[in-house]
A and B are shown apart, each in its own frame.
Chain A
Amino acid sequence: MFNDLADFAVKYALKKGADYSEARLESTTSNRFILKNGIAEASGFDKINGLGIRIIKNKTLGFTSTNNLDKEKIKKLIQNTINTTEKASKLREEINLSEENSYKDKYEVKQKINLNDIGPEEKIKLLFDAEKELINTKIKIPSRYLSLSDSTTIEYLTNSEGTNILATVPRVSFFYLLTVEHDGKTSQRIWQYGQSGGFEFVKKWDIPSIVVNEVRALQNNLKFGVKPPKQALDIVAAPQVVGIMVHESGGHPYEADRIIGREGAQAGESFITKEMLGTRIGNKVVNVVDDPLLENSYGFYKYDNEGVKARRKYLIKEGIINEFLQNRKTAYYMGLKSNGSSRSVNYDRESIVRMSNTFMLPGDYTEEELIKDVKLGIYMKNFMEWNIDDKRINQKYVGAESYLIKNGEIKEPVIRPVIEITTPQLYEAIDAVATNMEYHAGSCGKGEPMQAIPVWFGGPSIRLRKIRLGN
């Protein structure tokens, strides 16, 4: 690492007239292994070393980055950025940052089994083991794509207000795409596992069981699935489904930069306005939080990329819109303090308002109790296709592994039940929340250029009353 270069950049920018400067130095090493239809497609490793600098001059924001870690080059880039902010100041959005404490700290996500102690051979063997188990099921699986990745990021963040944070975060992830065929029909699932920490989590996941369970469920659905009923019914949505629902319609619309309009041309805006804080969006059993501090989570951090201490944010509290995700700029604009939601995926991206680990808090019931109280319904264990409009109102989730519920009992599989619903309808229809928490990993997309950032989304099982399924 070249921490002194980041320190130098911050000081040099001030010397050249910046009112605020911030530098983020990143060093990431990563490995990836791909097994396609039983064949080792490729292995690879990548390395990133680079510096990103944010400057505010005359309330104008400039960002520059380079992976040429040379002092003279950095000086030139800073000077250019100062000049550009001067020219842009005629048309600039006024940038003010909320006042925050500055921290000097160092933290590291510990690894029980260090990623570097496991050779490529052992990593790819895990995928081969999974492949073998898939073949042993005798299920027709025409396409099998498995990929295992790990990375270690060391980042040093410093700014002109005295922040110095050194963070080391290793991450592991497993991705699969499986196509199952039965009687000429196919069904597919794409899913991902991800955590921060060492190789112990990859072992704990038990990749062969994950994929075998998946193909068995897909085949069972293709073989025995019935069409979903047409009348209004109840839905018990399991943690995977709740996780994506909460991420899409309980997390994204609470991003303050979307509410203000900064993402307008990209991921869009939000149906939520500042004036809606304190108003009801759903049933009082609904509590949605975003929490970067969950240990070994995929979206883990202790300080955000502006050096603000991370904390749990209650986005929806007992059905009421409670808090937005803020960075220092949006917080100042709304007359608040930042709640530590500023993230950038790499050194060469500006930090923007992001989720970390977004989930619904558990309630008082067991999942069995939710099911027991349903006369006619659907148990939706997981999903395939989903999407939501760019204001976060109109959303759709298509069930993958799903079953009929009749008189409180889970019965035969159901083919592709579709929940097509608005956000207020969804959160108002939740009448009971279970205790069975699960977290799932994903890459959340936002920003331009795109910043696909690691997050967890999750929750317990929930029950939705009187839903009419879509087509």
Chain B
Amino acid sequence: MEPEEISSHILNKLLKAGADDVIVSVSKQESSQIKFSNNLINATKTWENIDLGVFMALKKKIVLTNIKELSLSAADDVVNKLLKFVKSASPNKEYAGIAKGPFSYKEVENGYDKKIASLGDNSIDYVEKAINKALESGAKRTAGVFENSLTNVSLLTSNDVKTSDKGTHSYFSIRAFNNKFASGQKTGFSRIINLLDVEKLAEEAALISKQSLNPEHGKFGKFDVVFETLPFANIIDNFGGAMSAFSVETGLSCLKNMIGKQVANKKITVIDDGTLKNGFNSSKFDAEGAPTQRNIMVDNGILKTYLHNTSTAKRFNTKTTANAGLLSPEPTNLIVKKGNFSKQELFEQVKNGLYITNVWYTRFQNYNTGDFSTIPRDGIFMIKNGKIGQPIKGVRITENILNLLKNTVALGNKPERVIGWEVETPIITPAVLVKDVNITRPVD
């Protein structure tokens, strides 16, 4: 039985049983990964998965399910269990419905690549080239992953949405080492494989690893910091999470009551774009079937809106931004608008500061205030009078995210496309210069 038939079977049965809103999604994914470390392939992996997701609202009682099975009997089981479950569920008084179709959709530009769909074990050749490039460029060891996938999603709702989308995705991450304390990491993604230059990423990671040999212990204090694209993407990913109306409601956001207010330096504009050409998370529609949009989230430092689905938007007296997430609206692709400075010009504005090429383990002390810390890893360098100098280690950024964004005074002119182990949202950002960043370290 085709996914569409199973979807309408479930939809019809639930509507007949009294459901007010129903969304049925079927996602089929074939994906692969080559995992490598110490310059060798550790494992080749492939996945084939089918996911059936059903959302039902009946008298404002919300029940969701996700099962990894696609058959008529599984569909009937799901319907029976949903109806049994909903009987004892409590109503969500704040629920305000789902998007009303029909809609017309636009295909995502550069969202599908035949070459990725039929890549198979040719992915091994890309990994081999990248490892060789890193070694040629001065790395001693490399580790990383190369992932490729083909996804088909079909969506059917009780509000006149019947649509589908297919897409391909390619993601590469490489960490190059010169020794245990000298490393560099770069990541990249694309929906079109020829637009992903794994060798360039490998070369850049290798160069950072080579430059970061013999680090000294860093000092604590306030420093002007040039953030490379990967660590700034980590911060923007967390900022994007705070933009979700769900985060605002649950206390996971420092942006509560901040619409129309200054939340970042006036040089910062952040756009969430679900329609982005070759965007990793671009799609024709969101989880309710609303056509994706380009939303200006922060305009010259001013917060313009939260990320919404239909229900959260009604609670905030606004319109959906087409970022459903059925419970929690989520960012799609976040773009930090580029500035005018070359990286060299960013360095030149720093007398005594740091150049940070990666961070990890970002944790909030209080999401509500935005107080957090994160740990630089891989190459960290002193900047003295505009020039990159001594590598350092052993430091931590202990900051407030709003403060850090207000102090972001200059943006680079070369955006990069970042996604990674700790950067879940695809981020497109240039390197940036942030003034007076609080650096801490263990006391001697």
Contacts and interface: CB of A to CB of B under 8 A. Distances in A.
Nearest to B443: A468
B62 interface: yes
Interface string B166-202: 0000000111010011000100000000000000000
Given A42-B62, A120-B89, A422-B442, A88 B68 contact: no
B442 A394 contact: yes
Interface in B142-157: 143-145
Interface string A71-115: 001000100110111011011110000000000000000000000
Contacts of B66: 44, 46-47
Contact of A387 (B70, B88, B363, B366): B363
A83 B121 contact: yes
A40 B91 contact: yes
Interface string B90-133: 11111000000000000000000000000011001001100100
A431 B177 CA distance: 37
B342 interface: no
B435 interface: no
Nearest to A34: B327
Secondary structure class of chain B's binding surface, majority of residues:
strand
Contact of B365 (A179, A267, A384): A384
A186 B42 CA distance: 47
A278 interface: no
B182 to A, nearest CB: 12
Interface residues of A, number: 87
A251 interface: no
B365 to A, nearest CB: 4
Interface in B347-369: 360-369
A174 B338 CA distance: 43
Contact of A62 (B45, B48, B128, B180): B45
A265 B143 contact: yes
A420 B398 CA distance: 11
Contact of A420 (B61, B92, B173, B441): B441
Question: Which 7 pairs show the lowest CB-CB distances between chains A and B?
Answer: A143-B251, A264-B143, A40-B90, A121-B88, A385-B365, A387-B361, A179-B251
Interface of A: 34, 36-37, 39-50, 60-68, 73, 77, 80-81, 83-85, 87-88, 90-93, 119-121, 124, 128, 142-143, 145, 177-179, 186-188, 260-269, 271, 348, 350, 384-391, 393-394, 396, 398, 416, 420-422, 425, 448-450, 468, 470-471
Interface of B: 33-38, 40-50, 61-70, 81, 85, 88-94, 120-121, 124, 127-128, 131, 141, 143-145, 173-175, 177, 180-181, 185, 220, 249-252, 327, 360-369, 371-375, 377, 394-396, 398, 421, 438, 440-443
Given A60-B44, A186-B366, 16 more contacts: A39-B94, A50-B49, A61-B42, A62-B43, A66-B47, A91-B127, A124-B88, A188-B251, A188-B366, A262-B143, A265-B185, A348-B47, A350-B43, A390-B361, A420-B443, A448-B173
